[in-house]
Amino acid sequence: MFKAESWSDQKIEIIIGNLLRVGVSISAVVVAFGGLLYLTRHGKTLPDYYTFQGEPAALRGFHGIVHNAIALQGRGMIQLGLLLLIATPVVRVLFSIWAFAVERDRMYVGFTIIVLAVLLYSLFGAGAAL
């Protein structure tokens, strides 16, 4: 009984681990591609991070970032890769809900839904609340 449970836990964790690795790999490739675009176009300009101005609105939200990335803008492409990176833990939490549901562990389905709600609030609600 105990063994069977820990075995399936182990299997779930391996799937989650691979899921995370794939997510990070995809995002790293997108970021590197965007980086190449950015460096070939802006490599000779001067960096300006000494004073904080904040990013332009187009690089702060989903629509602007996706729009910029489709237009093959280097900075938009990097930002899209970073969005994919931020999304990997969210997908991991989503997968965990399913995994706990398969194990019929209602309590942990509940806990995981709370974590998901906080993540989604940060990603979608935070901008509006500022």
Gap between the Cα atoms of 116 and 119, Å rounded: 5
> Which CB atom, from 4 or from 107, has the smaller least distance to another protein?
107
118 binding another protein? (CB under 8 A)? yes
43 binding another protein? (CB under 8 A)? yes
How many residues belong to the site for another protein (CB under 8 A)? 69
94 binding another protein? (CB under 8 A)? no
Q: Give 116: exposed, middle or buried? Use CB within 10 Å, 0-12, 13-18, 19+.
A: middle
Token pair listed for 53: 């101005």
Alpha helix ranges (H) inside the chain: 2-42, 62-70, 74-102, 106-120, 126-129
Q: How far is the CB of 12 from another protein (least distance, A)?
A: 7
Q: Give 85: exposed, middle or buried? Use CB within 10 Å, 0-12, 13-18, 19+.
A: middle
119 binding another protein? (CB under 8 A)? yes
Cα 122 to Cα 51, 67, 80, 126, 130, distances in angstroms: 26, 21, 17, 5, 11
98 binding another protein? (CB under 8 A)? no
The footprint of another protein (CB under 8 A) covers 6, 9-10, 12-14, 16-18, 20-21, 23-24, 27-28, 31-32, 34-35, 38-39, 42-47, 49-56, 59-61, 74-76, 78-79, 82-83, 85-86, 88-90, 92-93, 96, 105, 107-108, 111-112, 114-115, 118-119, 121-124, 126-127, 130
